[in-house]
């Protein structure tokens, strides 16, 4: 079947599904939120029957109404986390504390008899156990939400069936240091996560994942309808579903737009675009998808983004949406190792912390360094820093990539081995030692949406040498006035927090030739001539900047404002 026909068929399917849900939206909230008649009596009888039997756990099945009953039991429960669905699936087991306090529990099932208001915040994050930066945002938002309201409950919609809720929260504590009140964290495990896995959609991946997220959102709401829908992973086609099916407020945290004008421009500017029918069909596909993506923004109440770059794109895509920047929680408080007030004692080395993938442009760093080394032979009093590449390798392809980099360094450029070091998959404690003792931190990626490694450099006292684009340029390595303790517009010797570079290999290099950015080679030579006093001043200034902008405390303050600015949540229908 031709690609154009496949595309049109899929668009008809997704449009038909959305139209059907829109038509049914008047009935659907009742379907997912209103329990069946006499459900309280069934729960009460099940508890009483279990009391007469030895070690019997009352487990109930309400069929297609199970999700609405689970919701009501969570609202009444003494320990909501008991109503996670991993063990009993579509059935509901009454929690031990609720069985012990049966009479009060049954009475609390009646909204008028509850002495508290309980809001259920649903966090849609199908890969909540991944342990990356996106998950750090999720768990800090969950922790902040729980701390703001002692009565609220957070629900995590995830597909991580291979582990339990207790194990996930234990990893959160070890990885991020966040201690959550586990009794108010409910895990709803979703069976259909494969539909948002890119491997499921080898062709038309964007559209396939969009359709898959709709299916997954319907499953989530069917199993448990929250009072607020929080998407912290980036599934925009779930927003109209949450509005139509449950009629609840929608909060989003966007790490990067799933499609942007940059992607369309880059495709249309390819040399053979006009003569290549495949590229033109792809452009049409992306264009139609962008229109669909734009429509999802009308269902968002508050859209938060991780950086200025992402914010600028979201404003174009969702112009009518309330959007605001909330920088990721980078735990900068925990990375302030020491104050070099007595002098500069760090080693003359530059670290590059990034996964070993081509888009991180390690080869650009190597090539620039080799060129600077040749230039250094002609200069006096110039000593280039040692390079230390630190990163993880997820696949065999990544490991082969590291070997190619080593060949580039030692075979093609014949760089001295004492000047270049590779540390793959090293422990976090080892990485922290390098952050504590090095002088520079390099990030060469083009259009890094945010750049948490750059924040780690700055918080650790390193001097950032970064590509002049996106997050590092607009948000992190910004001019900073230490007396005002604030960001300023002019960059000079007294406000500098790092150094920028551009390269002819940048896709948008021609647009920025007038900015007169140096190349990385020239930056290497420039910083090598800095005095210890200059290094110390930049280091201290940069640390103050990131501690103010990217701390966990700052994230919590801004997330709390989002919760406060939400439309009034209807509690009467609970």
Per-residue pLDDT at 24: 60
Domain with CATH 3.40.50.2000 in the chain: 119-329+557-564, 332-550
Alpha carbon dihedral 289, 294, 300, 306, in 10-degree steps, equals 90
Confidence (pLDDT) at 122: 97
Non-local (6+) Cβ contacts of 236 within 8 A are 210, 252, 258, 293, 296, 297
Worst-scoring range by mean pLDDT, 42-46, 478-482, 495-499, 505-509? 505-509
pLDDT band at residue 75 using 50, 70 and 90 as cut-offs:
very high
Tokens of residue 21, six digits: 């849900």
Could you please report the per-residue DSSP string of 37-81? TTHHHHHHHHHHHHHHSTTPPPEE--GGGHHHHHHHHHHH-SSGG
More confident residue, 272 or 19: 272
Which of the four pLDDT bands, split at 50, 70 and 90, describes residue 270?
Answer: confident
Task: Encode pLDDT of 82-102 as tens digits.
Answer: 999 988 888 999 999 999 999
Question: How far apart are the two ends of the chain, measured CA to CA in Å?
Answer: 49
392 vs 239, more confident: 239
Cα–Cα nearest to 444, from 473, 423, 419: 473
Percent of the chain exceeding pLDDT 90 equals 58
- Provide the pLDDT confidence category of residue 391 given band limits of 50, 70 and 90: confident
Question: How large is the angle between the packed helices 308-317 and 277-296, nearest 10 degrees?
Answer: 90
Residue that wins the pLDDT comparison between 268 and 530: 530
* Residue 1 reports pLDDT greater than 60: no
Q: Are strands 185-189 and 153-158 parallel, antiparallel or unpaired?
A: parallel
Find out whether 423 and 389 touch, Cβ atoms under 8 Å. Answer: yes
Strands 420-424 and 250-254: unpaired
> Nearest CA to 158 among 185, 118, 120, 176?
185
pLDDT of 320 over the 80 cut: yes
User: DSSP class of residue 157?
Assistant: E
* Both structure tokens of 164: 């339990």
Alpha-carbon distances of 252 from 102, 259, 286, 448, rounded to whole Å: 38, 16, 22, 20
Question: pLDDT confidence of 428, banded at 50, 70, 90?
Answer: confident
Using one digit for the tens of pLDDT, what is the confidence trace for 181-217? 999 999 999 999 999 998 899 888 998 999 999 999 9
Q: Which residues of 319-343 are buried (b: 16+ CB within 10 A; e: fewer)?
A: eebebeebbbbbbbeebeeeeeeee
How does residue 573 score in pLDDT terms, banded at 50, 70 and 90?
very low
Q: How far apart are CA 5 and CA 10, in angstroms?
A: 9
Tell which CATH architecture fits domain 332-550: 3-Layer(aba) Sandwich (3.40)
Across the chain, mean pLDDT equals 88
The percentage of the chain sitting over the pLDDT mark of 70, rounded to a whole number, equals 91
| 12-16, 64-68, 507-511 — most confident range | 64-68
Other C-beta atoms within 10 Å of 509: how many?
Answer: 13
Residue 567: which of 114, 248, 253 has the closest Cα? 248
Q: Is 272 helix (H, G, I), strand (E, B) or coil?
A: coil
Q: Which CATH number fits domain 119-329+557-564: 3.20.20.110, 3.40.718.10, 3.40.50.2000, 3.40.50.2300?
A: 3.40.50.2000
């Amino acid at each position: 079947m031709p690609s154009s026909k496949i595309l049109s068929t899929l668009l008809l399917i997704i449009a038909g599904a959305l139209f059907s849900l829109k038509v049914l939206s008047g009935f659907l909230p009742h379907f997912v939120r209103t329990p069946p008649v006499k459900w309280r009596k069934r729960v009460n009888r099940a508890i009483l029957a279990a009391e007469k039997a030895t070690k019997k756990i009352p487990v109930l099945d309400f069929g297609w109404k199970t999700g609405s009953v689970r919701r009501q039991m969570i609202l009444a429960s003494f320990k909501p986390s008991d109503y996670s669905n991993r063990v009993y699936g579509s059935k509901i087991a009454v929690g031990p504390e609720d069985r012990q306090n049966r009479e009060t529990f049954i009475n609390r099932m009646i909204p008028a008899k509850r002495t508290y208001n309980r809001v259920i915040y649903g966090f849609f994050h199908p890969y909540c156990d991944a342990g990356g930066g996106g998950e750090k945002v999720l768990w800090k938002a969950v922790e902040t939400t729980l701390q703001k309201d002692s009565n609220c409950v957070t629900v995590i919609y995830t597909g991580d069936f291979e582990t339990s809720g207790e194990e996930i929260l234990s990893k959160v504590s070890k990885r991020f240091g966040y201690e959550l009140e586990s009794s108010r964290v409910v895990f709803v495990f979703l069976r259909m996560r494969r539909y948002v896995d890119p491997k499921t959609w080898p062709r038309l991946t964007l559209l396939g994942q969009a359709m898959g997220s709709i299916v997954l959102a319907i499953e989530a709401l069917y199993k448990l309808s929250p009072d607020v829908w929080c998407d912290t992973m980036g599934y925009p086609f779930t927003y109209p579903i949450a509005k139509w099916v449950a009629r609840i407020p929608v909060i989003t945290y966007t790490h990067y737009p799933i499609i942007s004008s940059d992607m369309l421009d880059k495709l249309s500017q390819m040399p053979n675009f006009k003569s290549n029918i495949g590229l033109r069909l792809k452009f049409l596909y992306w264009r139609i998808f962008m229109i669909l993506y734009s429509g999802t923004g009308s269902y968002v109440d508050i859209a938060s983004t991780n950086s200025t770059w992402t914010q600028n794109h979201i404003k174009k895509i969702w112009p009518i949406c309330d959007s605001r920047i909330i920088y990721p929680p980078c735990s900068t408080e925990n990375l302030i190792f020491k104050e070099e007030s007595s002098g500069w004692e760090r080693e003359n080395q530059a670290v590059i912390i990034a996964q070993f993938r081509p888009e991180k442009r390690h080869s650009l760093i190597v090539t620039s360094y080799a060129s600077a080394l040749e230039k250094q032979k002609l200069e006096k009093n110039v000593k280039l820093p040692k390079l230390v590449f630190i990163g993880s390798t997820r696949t065999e392809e990544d490991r082969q990539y590291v070997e190619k980099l080593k060949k580039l360094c030692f075979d093609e450029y014949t760089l001295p081995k004492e000047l270049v070091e590779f540390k793959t998959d090293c422990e976090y404690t080892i990485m922290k030692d390098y952050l504590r003792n090095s002088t520079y931190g390099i990030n060469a990626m083009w259009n890094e949406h945010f750049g948490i490694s750059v924040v780690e450099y700055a918080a650790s006292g390193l001097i950032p040498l970064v590509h002049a684009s996106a997050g590092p340029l607009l948000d992190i390595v910004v001019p900073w006035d230490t007396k005002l303790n604030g960001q300023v517009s002019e960059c000079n010797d007294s406000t500098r927090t790092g150094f920028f570079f551009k390269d002819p290999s940048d896709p948008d290099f021609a647009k920025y030739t007038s900015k007169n950015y140096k190349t990385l080679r020239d930056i290497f030579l420039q910083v090598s001539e800095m005095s210890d006093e200059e290094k110390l001043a930049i280091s201290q200034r940069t640390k103050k900047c990131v501690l103010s902008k990217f701390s966990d405390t700052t994230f919590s303050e801004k997330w709390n404002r989002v919760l406060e600015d939400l439309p009034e949540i209807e509690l009467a229908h609970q």
